[in-house]
Amino acid sequence: MNVGFIGLGNMGKPMAINLATAGHNVIGYDVSNENIDGIKTVKSGAECAKDAQVVITMLPDGEVLVKVAKEILPLMTPGSILLDCSTVDVESTLEVAQMASKFDIGSLDAPVSGGILGAKAGTLTFMVGGVEADFNKAKNLFDIMGQKFVLCGPAGSGQAVKICNNMILGATMIATCEAFALADKLNLSREKMFEVVSTSSGYSWSMNAYCPAPGVGPTSPSDNNYEPGFSAALMLKDLKLSQQAAKSVGAKTPIGEKATELYNDFVEKEGGNIDFSGMLRALEEKS
């Protein structure tokens, strides 16, 4: 397949390399104009998009996505697909889907879970919004870049699932950190906390797979001085998107709101480039 790839950052670069390694003809573009071994790069999004059957975008936010889509959609071949893997707000996704349909271009929102390691290993999970025919055309690409891909519903559904999932993640991480901070004050050993909770009703991915207490449970960023992993800045971004979406549809998300406030304070204090499980530090200090 001729694949255009726009946004070759921490995530996009390894995803594009995996597609090229699997034999696709990948042409990449990033504003940084960096040369990347393994893929051909060009000097504009337009060059990247014009002969592509699928254009993949992996960009920082909705504003950049809309700007890029406005530039490339008129140049894309009717029947081709714009596959956006960035995490962005639902409104921008829907705006891009509407624009794409005017040019007879298919569009899929397909944000990912699995982080930089998953992007490199080709083990991402894709949560996809769009129509089945477009999803089927992109399956082969998902299969190379990831290990699981789910069509969640019409345009916007991929972004909706992503922000709901990450709102749960942010909230459960804070709850897990709080419980460790409380357990410390109650003179409970962290190992015993983990042993019991990870096999009891308090278990969660945050506790069992990504334990925020160093030296406890499977190896995670807490064992590496909270080097990300999944940075607190990205968690804050996703929580803010969840609150923006909640506001737009009038949904009550009081815990999501509190989680956003706590990660906002955390990022202001610690900077965003610390793993989101580092929240334990902030709660230890508070207590």
Q: For residues 284 and 287, give the distance between their C-alpha atoms in angstroms, rounded to a whole number.
A: 5
Q: Which is nearer to ligand NAD, 106 or 158 (CB)?
A: 158
Tokens of 56: 């993949």
Residues 234-263 touching ligand NAD, rule: CB under 6 A, are 234, 237
Phi and psi for 154 in degrees, rounded to 5? -70, 180
Number of neighbours of residue 267 by Cβ within 10 angstroms: 19
Question: Shortest Cβ distance from residue 11 to ligand NAD (Å)?
Answer: 3
Q: Which is nearer to ligand NAD, 80 or 86 (CB)?
A: 86
> Which region among 53-61, 91-99, 132-140, 206-214 touches ligand NAD (by CB under 6 A)?
53-61
Q: Which is nearer to ligand NAD, 63 or 104 (CB)?
A: 63
Question: Shortest Cβ distance from residue 41 to ligand NAD (Å)?
Answer: 11
Instruction: Look up 162 and say whether it is catalytic.
Output: yes
Gyration radius from the chain CA atoms: 20
Binding mask 195-234 for ligand NAD (x = CB under 6 A): -----------------------------------x---x
How many residues contact ligand NAD, by CB under 6 A? 25
Q: Which is nearer to ligand NAD, 49 or 283 (CB)?
A: 49
- Which one of the listed residues 162, 185, 192, 240 is annotated catalytic? 162
Q: Active-site positions?
A: 162
Applying CB under 6 A, the residues found at the interface with ligand NAD are 6-12, 29-32, 45, 58-60, 64, 68, 86-87, 112, 115-116, 230, 234, 237
